[in-house]
Structures are given as structure tokens and as C-alpha cells.
Amino acid sequence: MKESQFIQQNHADWEALEQLLKQPRKDADELQRLFVKTSSDLSYARSFFPRRSVTLYLNNLTQEVFDSIRSQEEKFSFKVIVDFFRRTLPYEIYRSRNAFIVSFLVFTTAVIIGAVSSAHNEDFLAVVVGDSYVEMTEDNINEGDPMAVYKDADSNEMFFGITMNNIRVAFFAFVSGLAAIFGTILILITNGIMLGAFQYFFYAKGLFMTSFLTIWIHGTIEISAIIIAGAAGIVLGHGLLFPGTYSRAVSLQIAAQRGIRIILGTVPLFIIAGFLESFVTRLTEMPSILKVAIIGGSLLLIIGQWVIFPILQYRRGFYLDPELVIEPSHFLKPEKQDRDFGNLAEIVAAAMAQFRDNLGKLTKFVVLPGVLFFSVVHYFCIRFNIDRFKDIEYAENVEATFSIHSFSDGGFPMFLIMIFFYTFMLLVIRMIFSNGETTWRNLALEAKHYGGPILIAVTLLLLAQFVSTGAFVTLILVIVLPVHLLAVIFELTQKGSHPIKELWKSYARAMQTWLTYFPLYLLIGLFLSIFAFGLVSGLSGLIVQYFTWHQIFELQRANSFFFQQFFLYLLYMFLVPLFYLMLVNRANANERIMTASDLRSRMDSFGQDGKVFESPKVLKGI
């Protein structure tokens, strides 16, 4: 065939592929067909027209397919964020409008109750927030600076601490909906009563306007975000109590994802509120007109984003968009789905299924050895630092002043021990989930393949933790050295390659895809808030009290610290493999998108299950 005939016969498909690549949304099946056809033409051209321009053209055209997929991945995270606030969040707000109304009414009623209770009992505020806080506030009033509490802490430390605490409270209000909605209602009532009592306290002192123009600089957004979190909790509880035509498990999963959509929308609000409280509220001498402008602007932001915009989007018809609906089929077990998982719900569902299927092995090879290891480590660390516990015997919070993950308490030997233990634990977890037998031989193979990059990465991550000097520094280190680097290493590391080279390749990919992991980090924070901070801190007190009757150390603080850490690490040994699976599944999904591995696999199987090509058995019978 002449070159001109070859071009005339196939140029229509080539032009169709060019036009398809220019479209923002591409039909995957059509892209596959045209790509296979063009690749076949490229092979033909390389054989018969190796030095002709048509070969160069086809080579560039096929390369554009992969470049298009990679460019979409680079834009993916930002596009998802924009679409979330433009489409998904307004849809969920409007759909959950009754929950928002209930949350607002409950909180407002609680504020009124708090104010009325304070009016009839001047000691009511002390009962709600504690005597020490009331005494401190009264001292500030007597000294002529009633809002001095906002000036005491460093701005940077205050910003990080307040923001994280507010997010934690919001998540706790959300997950408390699992207690048949009553947990969320209780949190709304508690916070509302505190606010009402606090504001009436200043009213009784003749300082209502002073407190209002100061507190509500950040409080407008902060309180609104708490009400929004309460609405998310009500949505979650409603899904549990009223499953409708779904099974209760599926209804709860749908409600959880709807609630997570709402709760994610509060994260920017808490960041703004934390910034205002840390850097602006402390400026008590600023003109009142400026304070009113900030409060008014914050109120307009809340009303615009959470009330007006969802209504406008609804009237534009976006409410009927089928892509925004959460279908029950999303929650089928991954092994029953015909496609690879890729979104947050599927990644978490797959991780849960893998975790459940391997729970026995995890308990035997990770949980029990891990708890034993940390129990021994904490025992000897306390023994070697018993003088420290004597100094802090009367401190309010031992955990804030003693940590084995620091050079001051754990020391350099502990740093080395932790490096090898965490590396060993990660390799064991990898071996368990690689569908191989849990043998020393397989562990040695895992170590040979991944040991070098993982050891270096664990060393860097632990070094960052051991040397971190404050919350702000810790935040920067977490951004620069993300934990998901470990998951990326497991997905990218090639056999026989140099560890440093593999680590650098994995680090570049981890930073390139950082934002795709952000929803998972929020979800992991939710898990930790529920279990580690809520369960251990809230319920372990009674358990610790019982166990500390059996003295291991001569100091009560040392005993309390030891048993609290025991239960905490027992919990962590179960949660770490689950978090590992979530991060690895995300890394796996990223690699499929960026390298088009799923497209290549579909190309390899193209036509094998279809009716276009005759089977070998049929051909044999002709």
C-alpha cells in the first residue's frame, strides 16, 4: 500500500482522535477504540514508512493520549476542589436543609437557656466553664482589659491549636450522630448553653457590646461551623434511624458520605475562624466600625455560601444532576465490582474489606507483637526517667511533658529502635496484604525489595517528629514529609533499583499528588478523634483507675501514663493497618490514572470478550 493510500484510508480515525483529545470529557470506550486503531497504524507506518512524516505524526498523536491523561491528573485535585464547592456542597446543603434548620433551632434554644439560667443564677457560668476561667475573666475585667485572654498565647501556636481543636469538635459533633442523633443534639445544647451563659456574664458586667464586638469577630464563622457540623451529625443519625427502603448498613453508609461532604465544607471556615481569633481578635483597640465590618462580612459569607448559593443552584436545575447522587451500588464489596476503585468512598470500602479479611493475621503478626513491644519500651523509658515523673507528679497533663518520640525523653537509642521497629512493622503489613504467606522467607523478600527506601523514609519521618519544636513546625514538616510517601514507595519501587533513586522518584510523586490524599487525612483525623481521643481519653479513665491499683511504679503519674499508653497503642495497632490500606489504595489509584495502566490493560483484553472477533474454537471449525 502506498503512503497516500494509507493516509487516505485512515485519516478520518486520526482526526476523530484529535478532536476527542480536545474535549474536556472523553468517552473512554471511544478513546480506547481510536487509540488501539492509531497504535496499529503507527506499527504499520514504522514498518513500511519509517522515515516519513506520517510516522512522526502518528507517534506524536499516540503520545498525546498519555500526555492528556497525565495533564488531567495534574489538574484533577484543583478541579475536584472547585467542583466540590460549586456543585457538590450546595447540592448536599439544599438536600439536608431540614437538618440545618433543626441544628440551628436547637443551638439557638440552648443559647437562650444558657442566658436565662445565668440571669437567675450568677454562679451558673462557673458550673458550665469552670471556676478558674471565670476567675481569670474577672481578673482581666478588674485590670481594665476584659478580652486579655486572646492576647496571652503566641499567634502562630494559637492559630494551629485553635483550628485543629475546632475541627476536632466539629468531627465529634458529626460522629456523635451515630448515637441516634442524641449525641449531636447534646453537643449542640452544651455549646449553646456555654455561649449564652458567657454572653450574659458580660452583659451583667455592663460589657456586652465590648464582648460582642470582640468575640464575634471569629465567633460568627466558628459558631456557624458548629451548627453546620451539627447538621451533618443529624444527617448521619437520620440515616441510621430511618433507612427507608435500603438496608440499615447501606443507609448509614450513604448518610455518612453525605455528612462527610458537609463536614468537609466547614474546614475552610475553621481555618478562617482560627486565623481571625489568633491574629485579629487580639487587636481589641481597633475601631468599632472595623469590627462591625469584619463581623458583617463573616455573616455575609456564611449566608451567601450556605443559604443563598444552594438555593440559586437549585433553581438553576443542578439538583437534578445524577452525578451528585450517592447510589447504594457505591457500597458493594470491591470484589463484586467490575471496575477499579478510585473515589474516596470506594477506597475506604476496599480498605475496610481488606482489613476485615486479614484481621486474624493482623492480630497475630502486628497487634500483639506491637503492643508487647511498646509496653516494654514504655516500661523501661519510665524507669530511666523516673525523676522526670517525680517533677511532674502534680502536673495536669503528663502526656504533654513526656513522650518517647522525642530526643529529650526517648533519646537517640530510642530513635534508632523506633526506626527499625516501624520499618519492620510496615514490611509485615505489606507482606500480609500482598496475598502471600506470612513466612520469614516472604518477609525477607519484602525487605529486599522495599527495605532500603522504606528505611530511609521512616528515618526522615521519625527525625522530623523527634526534632519538632512546636505545632507550627510540625505542620510544616507534615506537609514537606507526608506520611503517604510510604504508600507511594510501596507502589512505585522497582526491583533491583537504587534505594535513593527510588525514594526520590516516590517523593516527587507523593508531592505531585499531595492534594489527592487530603480527604483521606481528614477521614483519618476523624477516626483518631473518635477512637484515640474520644474512646481512650473518655473511657480509659475508669480502666486506668482500676489497673493503677496494681502498682508497677511507685508514682501514680507513672502508672497512669503507662496504662494510658498501653491502651492507646493497642488501639493504634489496629488502626495503622487500616490507614495504610487507605493510603496505598489512593496511591494505586493515582498510578493508574497517571500511567494509564487501566487503559493499557483494557487494550490488552480488547476484543477478547466481545463478539467482534471470532473465538479460536469457531475458527477451528470452519
Q: How confident is the model at residue 63 (pLDDT cuts 50, 70, 90)?
A: confident
136-150, 334-348, 568-582, range with the lowest pLDDT: 334-348
For residue 24, the model assigns a pLDDT of: 65
Domain ranges of the chain: 3-84, 96-331, 342-593
Q: What are 560's three cell numbers?
A: 497512669
pLDDT mean over 205-227: 89
User: Could you give the CA distance from residue 364 to residue 372 in angstroms, rounded to a whole number?
Assistant: 12
Position with higher pLDDT, 398 vs 583: 583
Which residue, 372, 337, 377, is CA-closest to 353?
337
Residue 309 has pLDDT above 90, yes or no: yes
Per cent of the chain over pLDDT 70 is 78
For residue 610, the model assigns a pLDDT of: 42
For residue 534, the model assigns a pLDDT of: 53
User: What residues have CB less than 8 Å from 192, skipping those under 6 apart?
Assistant: 106, 107, 108, 109, 110, 111, 113, 114
Q: How confident is the model at residue 469 (pLDDT cuts 50, 70, 90)?
A: low
User: Could you give the CA distance from residue 617 to residue 23 in angstroms, rounded to a whole number?
Assistant: 41
Tracing cell 436545575 back to the chain, one arrives at 317
User: Could you give the CA distance from residue 576 to residue 370 in angstroms, rounded to a whole number?
Assistant: 11
Position with higher pLDDT, 330 vs 315: 315
Q: What is the pLDDT of residues 528-569, one digit of tens each?
A: 766 655 555 544 444 554 454 456 667 767 777 777 777 778
Residue 302 has pLDDT above 90, yes or no: yes
32-36, 123-127, 208-212, 543-547, range with the lowest pLDDT: 543-547
**Crossing angle of the two packed helices 556-595 and 518-527, in degrees rounded to 10:** 150
Q: How confident is the model at residue 338 (pLDDT cuts 50, 70, 90)?
A: very low
Residue 147 has pLDDT above 80, yes or no: no
The SS3 assignment for 219 reads: helix
User: What residues have CB less than 8 Å from 260, skipping those under 6 apart?
Assistant: 174, 232, 344, 523
The SS3 assignment for 516 reads: helix
| pTM, 2 dp | 0.52
Residue 59 near residue 42, CB atoms below 8 Å: yes
For residue 617, the model assigns a pLDDT of: 36
| Per-residue CA distances from 49 to 15, 17, 290, 310, 406 (Å) | 20, 21, 74, 58, 66
Q: How confident is the model at residue 615 (pLDDT cuts 50, 70, 90)?
A: very low
User: What residues have CB less than 8 Å from 162, skipping those under 6 apart?
Assistant: 273, 274, 277, 278
For residue 604, the model assigns a pLDDT of: 53
User: What residues have CB less than 8 Å from 153, skipping those under 6 apart?
Assistant: 161
Residue 306 has pLDDT above 90, yes or no: yes
109 φ, ψ (degrees, to nearest 5): -60, -40
For residue 364, the model assigns a pLDDT of: 86
For residue 400, the model assigns a pLDDT of: 45
User: Could you give the CA distance from residue 342 to residue 73 in angstroms, rounded to a whole number?
Assistant: 12
Q: What are 427's three cell numbers?
A: 514490611
Position with higher pLDDT, 63 vs 418: 418
User: Could you give the CA distance from residue 488 to residue 586 in angstroms, rounded to a whole number?
Assistant: 9
| The 3-state secondary structure of 405-425, one letter per residue | CCCCCCHHHHHHHHHHHHHHH
Q: How confident is the model at residue 232 (pLDDT cuts 50, 70, 90)?
A: very high
**Crossing angle of the two packed helices 556-595 and 411-433, in degrees rounded to 10:** 50
Which residue, 219, 193, 222, is CA-closest to 118?
193
Per cent of the chain over pLDDT 90 is 11
273-282, 292-301, 529-538, range with the lowest pLDDT: 529-538
Other residues' Cβ atoms within 10 Å of the Cβ of residue 319: 15
Residue 215 has pLDDT above 50, yes or no: yes
Residue 105 has pLDDT above 90, yes or no: yes
16-25, 177-186, 339-348, 430-439, range with the lowest pLDDT: 339-348
Residue 261 has pLDDT above 80, yes or no: yes
For residue 19, the model assigns a pLDDT of: 81
Q: What are 467's three cell numbers?
A: 526534632
Residue 25 has pLDDT above 70, yes or no: no
Q: What is the pLDDT of residues 71-87, one digit of tens each?
A: 554 444 567 788 888 88
